[in-house]
């Protein structure tokens, strides 16, 4: 029989386990979050800097980098990325930055993003982004300590 304290602890942990449990790191995850080989949901990563929004990319402006195909809205954005993929590519491979800070991998949604100190960070959803924003420098430090070991 569970004590009241144990029950409360399990209930408190349930949302985090539910949120990340189905996306825990599996062996040999790709360096870049991708779906069917397309990085970060086909969104142009440069658009987060130039348009301050998620901008859909196009296969007409594709570039292979870190084991995934990146799509861009135009040739200028593609060339900018090719010139500095570390600047424009999302940290933690485009996986959820908040999940990385907790030692997990999670997919991302284009609308849940932050540019902080000229680097792009993506999150699984707007709730994860809100949690991420509570301590961006601390979450970055935790994510860096976990990365790339959480890839499996």
Distance CA 87, CA 92 (A): 12
Please say whether the dihedral angle defined by the alpha carbons of residues 106, 111, 115 and 119, taken in this order, is positive or negative: positive
Query: Sign of torsion, CA 143 115 21 23?
Result: negative
Cα-Cα-Cα-Cα dihedral sign, residues 22, 24, 27, 33: positive
Q: List the chain pLDDT tens, one digit each, 152 residues.
A: 434 444 334 334 434 444 444 444 344 799 999 999 999 999 999 999 999 999 999 999 999 999 999 999 999 999 999 999 999 999 999 999 999 999 999 999 999 999 999 999 999 999 999 999 999 999 999 999 999 999 98
Q: What is the DSSP string of 5-36?
A: HHHHHHHHHHHHHHHHHTT---TT--SS-EET
Helix axes 136-146, 126-133, angle to 10 degrees: 110
What pTM, to 2 d.p., does this model score? 0.82
- Residues in the chain, overall count: 152
Contact 138, 145 (CB under 8 A): no
């Amino acid at each position: 029989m569970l004590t009241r304290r144990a029950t409360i602890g399990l209930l408190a942990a349930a949302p985090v386990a539910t949120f990340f449990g189905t996306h825990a790191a599996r062996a040999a995850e790709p360096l870049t979050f991708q779906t069917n080989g397309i990085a970060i949901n086909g969104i142009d990563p440069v658009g987060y800097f130039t348009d301050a929004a998620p901008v859909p990319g196009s296969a007409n402006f594709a570039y292979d980098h870190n084991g995934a195909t990146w799509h861009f809205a135009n040739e200028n954005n593609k060339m900018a990325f090719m010139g500095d993929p570390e600047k424009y590519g999302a940290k933690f491979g485009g996986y959820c930055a908040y999940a990385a800070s907790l030692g997990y991998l999670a997919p991302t949604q284009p609308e849940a993003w932050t540019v902080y100190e000229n680097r792009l960070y993506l999150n699984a959803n707007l709730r994860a982004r809100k949690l991420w924003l509570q301590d961006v420098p601390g979450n970055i430090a935790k994510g860096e300590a976990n990365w790339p070991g959480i890839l499996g």
